[in-house]
Amino acid sequence: MKFTVQQIADVIGAKVEGNPDAIISKFSKIDAGEEQGLSFLANPKYTHHIYTTKATAVLVSNDFQPTQALACTLIRVENPYLAFAQLMTMYQAKNRPIGISKHAAIAENVQIGKDVYIGDFVSISEGVVLGDNVQVYPHTFIGVNVSIGNNSILHSGVKIYHNCVIGNNCTFHAGAIIGADGFGFAPQSDNQYTKIPQLGNVIIEDNVDIGAQTCIDRSTIGSTIIRKGVKLCNFIQVAHNCEIGENTVMAAMCGIAGSTKIGKNCIFGGQVGVNWHLNIGDNVQVGAQSAISNNLKDNSVVLGTPAFNASDCIKSYAIFKHLPSVVQRISDLEKKVK
């Protein structure tokens, strides 16, 4: 697909500086641009590449001021990174597959919306509802009475267990598992365990992204809930009866124990662990590899194991890393005193 620079600018409400008739046919990195490529400049540390890039056009901010001659055409927007993402999304939508594979196994009473794609060896159970423009890639399983909203995408190997509810515009990457049993076992007097049936489900609201191999467990009773706009990276575990507030984001390998409630607009670094039955407030920021063992108030910024105020943690670490030399000095002093 080919577009002129002006056509692209018109779509995103941008201003062109350079050749509006230049042809764009691909997306390019700014440091290794290609002819007919479109790139973007958002991070100042890459500014030097704009003077040497071979990309035909570059999205830049409205306040960008070049200090050298440019070979590329500029497309000025308020937020180049966001505009680039929007253009890629539009391109992806125009090139998405449509149709139902003859190798898919689909129960008779499944409701399928318009312009749906269902790939090879997909298994769709009784009572499933698929909205318009849903894409279900090969080797995906959808359990009984699952509902999936419009424009949602299930990549290869996704498993969605029975009775789960998925909103609109959600994306599930390869191997994600939604609705597996929560880790519920009652200890017995003989040190064995009795399994507690997990009778609830998982509810995922609109505009949620779930990374590859991430698992969200169904609740014991009621629902495990992922609110709208949540973004979860790869290899994340969300246990039963948890709730994650809207627009919260988590980097890879976080683990959230059962019945924990996390507020909205929170940011979790990679490998964060959260204990069970906790309440995490809104706008909380948690540094990578932190372990949360207590409730956190709104707007907390924490770090460490166990996690506490990030500023205090950094100061403490500055002292902690010198402890061996401090201990040696104390030992030397004790010997002198004796």
The catalytic residue positions are: 240
Listed in sequence order, the residues at least 6 apart from 223 whose beta carbon sits closer than 8 Å to its beta carbon are 200, 201, 202, 203
Closest to 163 (Cα-Cα) out of 151, 180, 150: 180
Helix, strand, coil abundance in the chain, percent, nearest 5? 20, 30, 55
Our CA dihedral for 51, 57, 60, 66, rounded to 10 degrees, sits at 30
C-alpha 188/C-alpha 171 separation (Å) is 41
Sign of torsion, CA 205 295 309 238?
negative
C-alpha 91/C-alpha 319 separation (Å) is 52
Sign of torsion, CA 299 304 305 309?
negative
Neighbouring C-beta atoms of residue 141, cutoff 10 Å: 19
